[in-house]
Chains A and B, each alone.
Chain A
Amino acid sequence: MYILAADTSTEFASVALIKDSGIVSDLRDSGKQAHNQKLFDMIDRVLKDEGIRIRDIDIFAIGSGPGSFTGLRVGVSAFKGMAIGSGKKIIAVSSMDAAALKAFSDFPDEKRIEILLEGRQKDFFSAGYSYDGKDVRKINEIVVRPYGDYDYINGLAAGNVEKQFIEHKSYKSGYSPDAAYVGMLAYMRKDSASKDYGFEPEYYKEFKVR
């Protein structure tokens, strides 16, 4: 079984191909932005490397945020199009869950890890996670916090907010949502993939009309 996964919620787009439970190919775009112009070339590469066609994909998995509104629009609309075009199932995987899985894979003994994702308005998205060896679980709902508001953190914290903005001793940066982990979670949750294509990304910030 093949899963094609991507995450476009940050400024670095990533694409991964999962075969059964293993990652067979994993690409990360080094340049900033313009996912719109790189996403399909990256998809092309992971398929060609494995010698398969788009029609061989069984499940399409897309990181659904929270993160950049524009990035999410590009990734989610492209994945909806591909899944519908090939008549296959799609699954939206929280980008935060993907970052959490990445953190737990490096720190498997932690009971709880606080995940902090960049919010791009001098703020960040935050939620506590646990891991039971099968799946990551959100302990509390995602909260949007301003830079500097990190006194609530007990124990380990990880995320993609740059270290200079989070002056907490237990915070590990470099834990971005990543297609490989979106794909792994999609495999773990493959029973909830469906042909319901009307879903929306997790924006987590209501758009306010000024």
Chain B
Amino acid sequence: MIVLGIESSCDDTSVSVLKDGHILSVAVNTQLEHIQFGGVIPEIASRAHLKNFPEVLEKALSDSGLILNDVDAIGVTYGPGLVGPLLVGVNFAKGLAYSLKVPVVPVNHIEGHIFANFIDHPEIEYPFIVLVVSGGHTEIVFVPESEKYELCGKTRDDAAGECIDKVSKMLGLGFPGGRIMDEYAKSGNKDFEFFPRGMKNSHDFSFSGLKTSLKYYIDKHDKEFIKSNLNNIAASFMDSVTDSLADKLIRAAKKHNCRTVLLAGGVSANSMLREKITAQSVKKGLKFFYPQPKYCTDNAAMIAMSAFKKIQKYGIEKFSFDSELDAVPFLPLSE
């Protein structure tokens, strides 16, 4: 069973080839066009996907050693995400599938992030609790069985990744903030300053208060002080973000009497977050899994894996070529 995965929900154009549950290749083109604007511009992203998909597909195929005619099914992200970028991926996938006479398996992007964990850890068992955390999402989801999703908590304002990006910008460290802040925080002292933890007694998250307190902190101190303490401020800030994330994930696991916790999404590549959840998991005897960094950020391997899992579960005959498959920008995780 060869599955081709296609992903273009935001600013990464990605294609992956999967064979019998194993990823043979994954090609990703991360659009650098957006850096100058400090955020993703949807129209620019759409145009870049349209231009780059053929080249990214060719790379994924040549790295896999297979040819298009070997493909048995195509998995494609149809939401949630930016409508223009999604439309390009969906129609490119439909075009390929129409010519190849293979079915299209529509994949929810967030479900893809969750399934990314199975790429390196096929041994993961249900039920589990997963923290989906990225630039657009911060959600804790209880997964009692395959494809059943119960929302335990979500952000009431900014996504964690969005907050990190904005604070990185405020500190003059640039975009995208995730990796930059992680690097600065590594050499900093997290006890240098205490920043608030939002909604401490709720299942939900809030990061806008934290963002505001950073703004006041930066305004209050002179530029030289901020500049010479960037690593300390980054560490103290990331300490607050990761405390909220880790504490609520562990608390949800306890509430649902779940022995397995997972991380998913771009921010799950963050080292401080992984360390904190690892420490708490060891203490509480929980199994903790997270994808390797290249499967944390947006990628098509997770989409191919999701499509493969669905084909395994329902049988390939349940999927066909749906000429009307549309992009759904606000696609929920469960109906």
Most buried by A among B53, B55, B84, B98: B98
- Bitwise, A72-91 to B at CB < 8 A (1) or not (0) is 01101111111111110000
Residues of A within 8 A of B54 (CB): 80, 84, 197-198
Bound form: Cα–Cα A156–B98 in Å: 42
Instruction: Determine if A168 is an interface residue (Cβ-Cβ < 8 Å).
Output: no
Instruction: Determine if B88 is an interface residue (Cβ-Cβ < 8 Å).
Output: yes
Stretch at the interface among B42-50, B181-189, B280-288: B42-50
A81 pairs with B51, CB closer than 8 A = no
Instruction: Determine if B68 is an interface residue (Cβ-Cβ < 8 Å).
Output: yes
Instruction: Determine if B164 is an interface residue (Cβ-Cβ < 8 Å).
Output: no
Interface size on B, residues (CB 8 A): 35
Contact of A203 among B47, B323, B326 (CB under 8 A): B47
Interface size on A, residues (CB 8 A): 34
B98 pairs with A85, CB closer than 8 A = yes
Instruction: Report A50 CB to chain B, min CB distance, Å.
Output: 16
Stretch at the interface among B89-97, B202-210, B245-253: B89-97
A81 pairs with B44, CB closer than 8 A = no
Residues of B within 8 A of A200 (CB): 47, 50-51
Residues of A within 8 A of B49 (CB): 77
B43 pairs with A69, CB closer than 8 A = yes
* Interface residues of chain B: helix, strand, loop or mixed (majority): helix
Bound form: Cα–Cα A37–B55 in Å: 26
Bound form: Cα–Cα A203–B43 in Å: 11
Give 19 A-B pairs besides A40-B323, A73-B46, A82-B99 with Cβ atoms closer than 8 angstroms: A37-B326, A39-B91, A41-B323, A43-B98, A55-B99, A70-B87, A74-B87, A76-B50, A77-B53, A77-B95, A79-B95, A80-B95, A81-B99, A83-B99, A84-B54, A84-B57, A84-B96, A203-B47, A209-B41
Residues of A within 8 A of B57 (CB): 84
Instruction: Report A91 CB to chain B, min CB distance, Å.
Output: 15
Residues of A within 8 A of B44 (CB): 207, 209
Bound form: Cα–Cα A34–B92 in Å: 16
Closest to B67 in A: A87
Bound form: Cα–Cα A198–B92 in Å: 13
Closest to B6 in A: A81
Of residues 299 through 329 on chain B, the ones whose CB sits less than 8 Å from some CB of chain A are 321, 323-324, 326-327
Instruction: Determine if A119 is an interface residue (Cβ-Cβ < 8 Å).
Output: no
Instruction: Determine if A54 is an interface residue (Cβ-Cβ < 8 Å).
Output: yes
Of residues 39 through 77 on chain A, the ones whose CB sits less than 8 Å from some CB of chain B are 39-41, 43-44, 54-55, 69-70, 73-74, 76-77
Instruction: Determine if A159 is an interface residue (Cβ-Cβ < 8 Å).
Output: no
B84 pairs with A70, CB closer than 8 A = yes
- Bitwise, B61-101 to A at CB < 8 A (1) or not (0) is 00000001000000000000000100111111111111110
Instruction: Determine if B216 is an interface residue (Cβ-Cβ < 8 Å).
Output: no
Contact of B94 among A69, A81, A86, A207 (CB under 8 A): A81
Residues of B within 8 A of A39 (CB): 91, 323
Residues of B within 8 A of A34 (CB): 326
A85 pairs with B50, CB closer than 8 A = no
Instruction: Determine if B37 is an interface residue (Cβ-Cβ < 8 Å).
Output: yes
Instruction: Determine if B52 is an interface residue (Cβ-Cβ < 8 Å).
Output: yes
Bound form: Cα–Cα A206–B47 in Å: 11
Instruction: Report A101 CB to chain B, min CB distance, Å.
Output: 25
B68 pairs with A73, CB closer than 8 A = no
Bound form: Cα–Cα A70–B84 in Å: 7
The 4 closest A-B pairs by CB, nearest first: A81-B95, A85-B99, A197-B54, A40-B323
Instruction: Determine if A170 is an interface residue (Cβ-Cβ < 8 Å).
Output: no
Residues of B within 8 A of A84 (CB): 54, 57, 68, 95-96, 99
Residues of B within 8 A of A198 (CB): 51-52, 54-55
Bound form: Cα–Cα A43–B95 in Å: 11
Instruction: Determine if A36 is an interface residue (Cβ-Cβ < 8 Å).
Output: yes
Residues of B within 8 A of A40 (CB): 94, 98, 321, 323
A207 pairs with B43, CB closer than 8 A = yes
Residues of B within 8 A of A44 (CB): 323
Residues of B within 8 A of A83 (CB): 95, 99
Instruction: Determine if A201 is an interface residue (Cβ-Cβ < 8 Å).
Output: yes
